[in-house]
Structure 1
């Protein structure tokens, strides 16, 4: 039991809840149950985030095109993710409340590079990578005052809104969602919804809660567009089956 205590306390459960569950066998303690559920959701979100944007990355590489994706939207998303991670680290929040941001940030960074690379601007892609890591190093250094870090987190709300509106506008103008991955967008929407609960339970930080509420609403907008434009195709690019039918006709 002491070995289990070393694994679970305090990273997964506070000592009080560990005693309630494993020593007193009080498995119906409501506050501890809520916290345990929050921790389970948090670690589940983190585990899912490791692969949440991989379908988008694979889709871009296979297509050899980043059509339908907005680099401006990626920049704003990176700003929001960076602000959340730096804010969480400096405030000492548990990894279970923000860990997915690290993996989402790395994957979004990859997508941003691919947009530039596939668009014929590889040098700009490397400049984007270098600029980001420089900004991150400065943000995590002691030279940045806490007030500035809080301001970075506060800008997340408008950054998220603008980034999603840019993507939504791009989808509307194109009349399709291009190379957007339905799996990635759907998982991001579900993850942001779950984060509202974990944030309330573990941080009770109003700024973080507002960020996740706004993020859920904006991700929901992109999900709605994916459903609306589900059968839409980029102009001049017929579906593969139609291409095959045309080839058969030519052979006949």
Structure 2
């Protein structure tokens, strides 16, 4: 029974991650605007995902426990390009690429660098959610932010808490998913609140 639950959790997480950023991307394309989506939040989120992927790959974690990271990273890069384009900052794509590529290489120069960065990645990823929250609070407008994308993120964090507990039981990874679950829920609630407020105003 435990093995079946683990397979379901891993499989459903992968399926959710295959389309995780699709609703957000479609919302941006339909509106031809990145209103409500924080560029800084996306950059921090991408950094957090890259660190986690590097860490789990370096320590030879079971592939099903982190296979979604490359998929989410590709989707985040595409979203980032959309946001840069709609904000008129596409020329910044090359410097960001250079920074992320050099960071990817430097992470495994020393084991302690990777371990330290993985511990910090929870703070980096948490900061990405807090930046998005601050952006929503300042504008009081959820704009083109996709509630579906945030809902899927909540689900994947919940399933990853379970799969981490029954496979690696890595406290660093577990704490990260618990923190992300709480913050993703907060962002979703804020998006829904401002969407409701905007409709009342209209």
What TM-score range do you get, normalising by the shorter chain? over 0.9
Give the CA deviation at 1:134. 4.0
- Count of paired positions: 201
TM-score (norm 2): 0.92
The 2-side partners of 1:131 and 1:45 are apart by: 29
- Runs of 4+ deviating beyond 4 Å: none
Give the CA deviation at 1:118. 1.1
Q: Does 1:214 align with 2:179?
A: yes
C-alpha offsets along residues 104-158 of structure 1, whole Å, 9 cap, x if unaligned? 111111111221111112111233234323433x157xx6111111111101111
The 1-side partners of 2:145 and 2:155 are apart by: 17
Q: Does 1:69 align with 2:34?
A: no
What are the ranges of 5 or more consecutive residues in structure 2 without an aligned counterpart? none
User: Which of the two has higher C-alpha Rg?
Assistant: 1
Q: Which residue of 2 aligns with 1:190?
A: 155
| Counterpart pick for 1:128 among 85, 90, 96 | 96
Q: Which residue of 1 aligns with 2:127?
A: 162
| Counterpart pick for 1:59 among 14, 24, 27 | 27
CA RMSD in angstroms, aligned pairs only = 1.9
> Of Structure 1 and Structure 2, which has the larger fraction of its residues in helix?
2
Q: Any residues of structure 2 matched to 1:26-41 within 5 Å, and which? A: 33-41=1-9
Higher RCO, Cα 8 Å, sep 6+: 2
Q: Any residues of structure 2 matched to 1:43-58 within 5 Å, and which? A: 43-58=11-26
Q: Does 1:105 align with 2:73?
A: yes
Specify whether residues 47 and 220 from structure 1 end up closer, same or farther in structure 2 by C-alpha distance, changes over 3 A only: same
